[in-house]
Amino acid sequence: MIRLNKYLADCGVCSRRKADELILSGRVTVNSKKVTELGTTVNEDNDSVAVDKRKVTPVRELTYIMFNKPKGCVTTASDEKGRKTVFDYIDLKKRLFPVGRLDYDSEGLLLLTNDGNLAQLLTHPSNEIPKVYIVKIEGDIVESDLAIIRKGAVVDGEKFGRAKVKVTGVENGLTRLEVTIFEGKNREIRRMFAAVEKNVVFLKRVAIGELKLGGLSRGAYRFLTETEIEYLKRLG
């Protein structure tokens, strides 16, 4: 017997944390009965599990992809507003899901996989996996504002984690910075800079841990090497 959220992760549906959300929203059934309790366990051999009435089974072949997400697409399988998604760029007949998120106006390194357990490891805040971004903001920024972001800005009563921030250049009225965060909350960097009244006009993720985007073109993807996969698994 295993917990239902782990079973969904093993099926490549999503990470365990996202699986909890699916369960709470009533989208998961076990043997045709809706389940909404997070502590539910299932028998891998005998129970029939479905998400949105679609039966799911454990993935036998795991896939790991690095994608250079361009601006102007969302990191979901479909979009109610009809916007382009990252899956419009990925020509694979496999059910993958993004590890973490990059918002519509952001670009750069995005991992996609059907390994829900690795996704859980990489996205859980307690693991504090560093994610590096190139950021451009309008105007300049003073040291006192940088100190607020480094310590952990407070936005609408929500405390953000510490961040590493360094200015790398100033050009055409924009300040370029390298920012490293360790959590990955929704629109975290944009909201941190908004807390010191700075507007982010460019945001690109270039690394997760020591895994770097490198020369991968915008809108292109590649499979991770075995060495890279093993490295990511060790990060937790």
Question: What is the reported pLDDT for 92?
Answer: 87
Give the span between the Cα atoms of 58 and 144, in whole angstroms.
51
Question: What is the reported pLDDT for 94?
Answer: 83
Question: What is the reported pLDDT for 143?
Answer: 96
Q: ∠93-228-9 over CA atoms, to 5°?
A: 50
- E strands, the chain, in order: 2-3, 28-30, 33-34, 41-42, 49-51, 54-55, 64-69, 97-99, 107-113, 131-138, 154-155, 158-159, 163-171, 174-181, 200-208, 211-212, 221-223
Average pLDDT over residues 200-228: 96
pLDDT digits (tens, 9 = 90+) for 134-193: 999 999 999 999 999 999 988 888 888 999 999 999 999 999 999 999 987 888 999 999
Q: What are phi and psi of 6, to 5 degrees?
A: -70, -40
Q: Any idea which residues carry the catalytic annotation?
A: 103
- Lowest average pLDDT, out of 122-126, 191-195, 226-230, goes to 122-126
Give the span between the Cα atoms of 106 and 138, in whole angstroms.
16
Question: What is the reported pLDDT for 236?
Answer: 67
Which is higher by pLDDT, 108 or 186? 108
pLDDT digits (tens, 9 = 90+) for 201-211: 999 999 999 99
pLDDT digits (tens, 9 = 90+) for 42-92: 998 899 999 999 999 988 789 999 999 999 999 987 788 889 999 999 988
Question: What is the reported pLDDT for 138?
Answer: 97
Q: What are phi and psi of 4, to 5 degrees?
A: -60, -40
- 16 closest CA partner among 116, 163, 102: 116
Give 74's DSSP letter.
Answer: B
Give the span between the Cα atoms of 13 and 3, in whole angstroms.
14
Question: What is the reported pLDDT for 106?
Answer: 96
What global pTM score does this model have? 0.80
Give the tokens for residue 137. Answer: 């903001």
Question: What is the reported pLDDT for 140?
Answer: 96
Question: What is the reported pLDDT for 162?
Answer: 92
> What domains are defined for the chain?
2-55 (3.10.290.10), 64-125+211-234 (3.30.70.580), 130-208 (3.30.70.1560)
Task: Please tell me whether residue 76 adopts helix, strand or coil conformation.
Answer: coil
| Residue 132 banded pLDDT, cuts 50, 70, 90 | very high
